[in-house]
Every structure is written in structure tokens, then in C-alpha cells.
Amino acid sequence: MHYLLIYDVTEEYITRRSEFRSEHLKRGWESHSKGELILGGALSDPIDQTVMLFKAETPEVVENFAKSDPYVLNGLVKKWIVRPWTTVIGKDASTPVMP
């Protein structure tokens, strides 16, 4: 199953993220190497949210990532949410539907 992890970030996110970015990226790449985190990054214009795409059996994998993320722990994230995403198109779709 695919899940989106969406962070609503604070106004200080851009100016403060460098303090925690190395550890955040390290954890992200570790999750990627396990096949969990597929893609991640900040939305632009404005940079007010970040989105990460996970592939996992349960939402707890994604929730555990967020709960221990340095960005969350150090107040750069105002709110986060995990949303299941039913993907149907593409070679990596979790539930492919062909016409």
C-alpha cells in the first residue's frame, strides 16, 4: 500500500531546517534503503508543506517515521498527517487498474 506523509511546516522551517537536515536526510535515506520511503521533498511557492511517499504494509511504519523525525521533534512541523493513497496507474501502482 502507498501512503503519503504530509507535513505542514512552520514559517521558521526554511531558516531552521539546516540545524536538523543532516539527521532528517540520513533517516530518510535509511528508510529508502529499506524500500519504505520512495520519494520526499518540500512543496515550493510557497514552501509550506512537505510530502513523502511511502510503500508499507501498515500506516504505523509511516507514523513511526514522523514521530521520530528531527523536524517534528524540534518544532519545524506544525501538523502532520498520514494518508493512504490508492495508486492505480504506473508500473509501481499498488492496485493497478487497466482499461
CATH of the domain at 75: 3.30.70.1060
Other CB atoms within a 10 A radius of the CB of residue 47 amount to 13
Residue 96 in any domain: the answer is: no
Question: Structural domain of residue 26, as residue ranges?
Answer: 2-85
Residues in the chain: 99
Give the model confidence (pLDDT) of 88-97 as tens digits: 999 999 999 9
Q: Which three cell numbers stand for residue 30?
A: 535509511
The string of pLDDT tens digits covering residues 7-64 is 999 999 999 999 999 999 999 999 999 999 999 999 999 999 999 999 999 999 999 9
Question: Please, which residues have CB within 8 angstroms of residue 63's CB and are 6 or more apart in sequence?
Answer: 82
Residue 94 within a domain = no
pLDDT of residue 21: 97
Q: Which of 80, 76, 38, 30 is nearest to 56 (CA)?
A: 38
The domain total for the chain is: 1
Judged by DSSP in three states, 86 sits in coil
